[in-house]
């Protein structure tokens, strides 16, 4: 016994490292921080206040990039205005002719981005709306350009949005022109990938990708991005499709929260299915 | 005296975590952020030894996981490993200014940053369809260099204090 104790003391660094590694890996397999409930809301509230207090400090690199982008956008907008004026008149005439119904509007809540958090490559934004404004975990966040992400944490006055540039995000999506459906994931860099679209289906560069609505996590028909390239991978049955997101995540200032949650029963059913699949994959 | 030093490191770690969380956007250059907490973990390893660095790395990493939105346990694991690796370079009896005010601190930070990022990104990319090598070369190497560049600040400060003391 004494020998064991002596051995443990002698190699305590290695023993403790092994033990703590096991603890850390167990914690990781347990799940993410969203399961910590009230504690997390407290942290979000505190950090939200701090981020709001320091929101006025500019990042010079980001400002320079933003200025360049704004000048570019300004030029493009000038050209687009001309086209849109003509299209607006034409659209008005067509609408009247076809007596199109006004599309139903989603219940939206405007919010300001008060903080951007970049943990290595995970991107989150903090917004100045929380549970007192009716924001709940799971609600979608958009801009006029398209989908930003979902609320993953909310305190009374602040919420954290997980953007599409995140390993954990998977969006059920549809290509507008062909109605092909796939899964949108982050490619790890600056674009998204549309997965699970078979090579037998024709996909065109420039096509728009929107949320499909097949999953309850995202409201259908929200624009996601434009197909930038389609690569023929000889080792796969599927296209490798790169999608350029519509939303420029690094210069978000104002967003809208879609104030609706998926129907509970449907969402519950999807969650239980996902849990079942995860258990099967772990071999339980 | 010893407790006071550990207390100082704990306060430093908490401040670092807060700055990393609140001001990460300000520190970010092209989407790459430095790992300020790693600088503290390496400093603890070089001044207090391997065992202290392992415990400190794990505890501070866990707090970072809880405060940030990262997967709980991921930073605890990599910070602990960084403390473990850095601990091999500890020289018993050396003072704080001797440990941090030498180029050893910068070199060990660089080594630990590479190891730390390699393990973290391996865990990060594993469940996703993200190529690890490409991802690590683009983000991990840049983040390691950025973190090492910031290690020069405590190095210059400590080396100046060392010269003044000599």
- Give residue B137's pLDDT band: very low, low, confident or very high (50, 70, 90): confident
Between A and B, how many residue pairs show a Cβ–Cβ distance under 8 A? 139
> Per residue in A228-277, pLDDT tens?
999 887 878 888 899 999 988 877 888 889 988 877 777 777 778 877 87
Contacts of A225 (CB under 8 A, 6+ apart): A146, A192, A208, A209, A243, A244, A245, A246
Please check the confidence at residue A98 and state whether its pLDDT lies above 60.
Answer: no
pLDDT of residue A17: 92
Q: Give the total number of structural domains in chain A.
A: 2
Tokens of A136: 């709940």
Average pLDDT over residues A219-233: 89
Contacts of A136 (CB under 8 A, 6+ apart): A151, A154, A261
Contact call for B125 and A162, based on CB within 8 A: no
Distance from CA of B66 to the nearest CA of A (A): 7
Under a CB-based contact definition with an 8 Å cutoff, are residues B134 and A188 in contact?
Answer: yes
pLDDT of residue A100: 36
pLDDT of residue A95: 64
Which stretches of chain A are DSSP H helices? 2-10, 12-30, 38-53, 60-98, 264-282
pLDDT of residue A102: 46
Q: Give domain status of residue A10, yes or no.
A: yes
Q: Give domain status of residue A103, yes or no.
A: no
Q: Give domain status of residue A187, yes or no.
A: yes
> Per residue in A21-59, pLDDT tens?
999 988 888 765 455 556 667 777 777 777 777 766 766
ipTM: 0.87
Please check the confidence at residue B43 and state whether its pLDDT lies above 90.
Answer: yes
Please check the confidence at residue A284 and state whether its pLDDT lies above 60.
Answer: no
Contact call for A188 and B128, based on CB within 8 A: yes
Q: Give domain status of residue A221, yes or no.
A: yes
Residues of A in contact with B77 (CB under 8 A): 20-21, 24-25, 28
pLDDT of residue A94: 63
| Cα Rg of chain B, angstroms | 15
pLDDT of residue A37: 58
> Per residue in B100-134, pLDDT tens?
999 999 999 999 999 999 999 888 877 666 788 88
- For chain B, give the number of residues: 166
Contact call for A17 and B81, based on CB within 8 A: yes
Burial class of residue B55, CB neighbours in 10 A (0-12, 13-18, 19+): middle
Nearest CA in chain B to A28: B73
pLDDT of residue B69: 72
Domains of chain B, with CATH numbers?
2-16+35-165 (1.10.1760)
Q: Which of B129, B131, B141 to mutate to test the interface with A (most CBs of A within 10 A)?
A: B129
Average pLDDT over residues A84-108: 62
pLDDT of residue B2: 65
pLDDT of residue B1: 60
Q: Give domain status of residue A213, yes or no.
A: yes
Contact call for B69 and A33, based on CB within 8 A: yes
Under a CB-based contact definition with an 8 Å cutoff, are residues B128 and B147 in contact?
Answer: no
pLDDT of residue B83: 95
Which of A118-127, A141-150, B66-75: highest mean pLDDT? Answer: A141-150
- Give residue A196's pLDDT band: very low, low, confident or very high (50, 70, 90): confident
Q: Give domain status of residue A38, yes or no.
A: no
Taking each helix axis from N to C end, the angle separating B50-67 and A12-30, rounded to the nearest 10 degrees, works out to 10
Contact call for A17 and B22, based on CB within 8 A: no
Q: What is the DSSP string of A168-217?
A: T--EEEEETTT--EEEEEE-SSSSEEEES-BTTS---TT-EEEE-SSSTT
pLDDT of residue A99: 45
Q: From the list B25, B77, B124, which residue is nearest A24 (CB)?
A: B77
Exposure class string for A245-275: b at 16+ Cβ within 10 A, else e: bbbebbebeebbbbbeebeeeeeeeeeeeee
CATH of the domain at A236: 2.40.10.350
- Give residue A82's pLDDT band: very low, low, confident or very high (50, 70, 90): low
Contacts of B7 (CB under 8 A, 6+ apart): none
Under a CB-based contact definition with an 8 Å cutoff, are residues A111 and A129 in contact?
Answer: yes
Q: Which of A8-22, A79-93, B33-47 has the lowest mean pLDDT?
A: A79-93
Please check the confidence at residue A159 and state whether its pLDDT lies above 60.
Answer: yes
Q: Give domain status of residue A136, yes or no.
A: no
Q: From the list A33, A47, A121, which residue is nearest B72 (CB)?
A: A33
Please check the confidence at residue A19 and state whether its pLDDT lies above 90.
Answer: yes
Q: Give domain status of residue A163, yes or no.
A: no
Residue-number span of the structural domain to which A209 is assigned: 171-246
Q: Which of A157-161, A268-272, B159-163 has the lowest mean pLDDT?
A: A268-272
Under a CB-based contact definition with an 8 Å cutoff, are residues B146 and B33 in contact?
Answer: yes
Contact call for A118 and B143, based on CB within 8 A: no
For residue B9, what are the CA distances in angstroms to A25, A54, A271?
25, 25, 43
Whole-number percent of chain A with pLDDT over 90:
23
Under a CB-based contact definition with an 8 Å cutoff, are residues B62 and B73 in contact?
Answer: yes
Between these two residues, B141 and B96, which has the higher pLDDT value? B141
């Amino acid at each position: 016994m004494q020998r064991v104790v002596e051995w443990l003391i002698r190699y305590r660094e290695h023993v403790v490292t092994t033990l703590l590694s096991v603890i850390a890996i167990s914690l990781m397999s347990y799940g993410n921080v969203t399961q910590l409930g009230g504690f997390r809301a407290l942290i979000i509230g505190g950090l939200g206040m701090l981020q709001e207090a320091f929101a006025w400090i500019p990042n010079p690199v980001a400002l320079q990039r933003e200025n360049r982008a704004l000048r570019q956008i300004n030029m493009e907008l000038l050209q687009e205005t001309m086209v849109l004026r003509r299209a607006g008149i034409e659209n008005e005439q067509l609408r009247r002719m076809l007596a199109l119904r006004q599309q139903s509007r989603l219940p939206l809540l405007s919010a300001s981005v008060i903080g951007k958090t970049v943990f290595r490559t995970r991107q989150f934004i903090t917004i100045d709306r929380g549970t007192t404004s009716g924001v709940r975990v799971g609600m979608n966040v958009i801009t006029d350009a398209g989908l930003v992400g979902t609320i993953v944490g909310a305190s009374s006055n602040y919420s954290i949005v997980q953007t599409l540039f995140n390993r954990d995000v998977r969006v059920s999506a549809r290509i507008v022109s062909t109605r092909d459906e796939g899964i949108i994931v982050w490619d790890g860099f600056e674009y998204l990938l549309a997965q699970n679209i078979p090579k037998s289906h024709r996909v065109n560069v420039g096509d728009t990708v929107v949320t499909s609505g097949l999953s309850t996590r995202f409201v259908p028909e929200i624009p996601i991005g434009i197909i930038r390239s389609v690569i023929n991978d000889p080792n796969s049955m599927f296209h490798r499709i790169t999608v350029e997101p519509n939303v420029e995540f690094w210069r978000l200032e104002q967003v809208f929260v879609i104030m609706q949650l998926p129907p509970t029963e449907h969402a519950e059913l999807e969650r239980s299915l996902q849990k079942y699949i995860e258990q099967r994959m772990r071999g339980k | 005296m010893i407790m006071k030093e550990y207390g100082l490191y704990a306060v430093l770690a908490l401040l670092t975590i807060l700055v990393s969380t609140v001001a990460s956007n300000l520190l970010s250059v092209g989407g790459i952020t430095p790992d300020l907490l790693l600088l503290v973990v390496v400093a603890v390893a070089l001044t207090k030894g391997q065992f202290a660095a392992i415990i400190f790395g794990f505890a501070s990493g866990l707090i970072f996981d809880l405060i940030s939105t990262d997967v709980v346990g991921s930073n605890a694991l990599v910070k602990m490993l960084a403390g473990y690796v850095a601990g091999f370079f500890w020289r018993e009896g050396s003072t704080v200014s001797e440990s941090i005010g030498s180029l050893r601190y910068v070199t060990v930070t660089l080594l630990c940053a590479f190891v730390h990022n390699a393990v973290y990104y391996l865990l990060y990319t594993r469940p996703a369809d993200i190529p690890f090598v490409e991802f690590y070369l683009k983000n991990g190497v840049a983040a390691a260099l950025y973190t090492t560049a910031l290690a020069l600040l405590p190095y210059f400060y400590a080396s100046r204090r060392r010269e003044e003391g000599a």
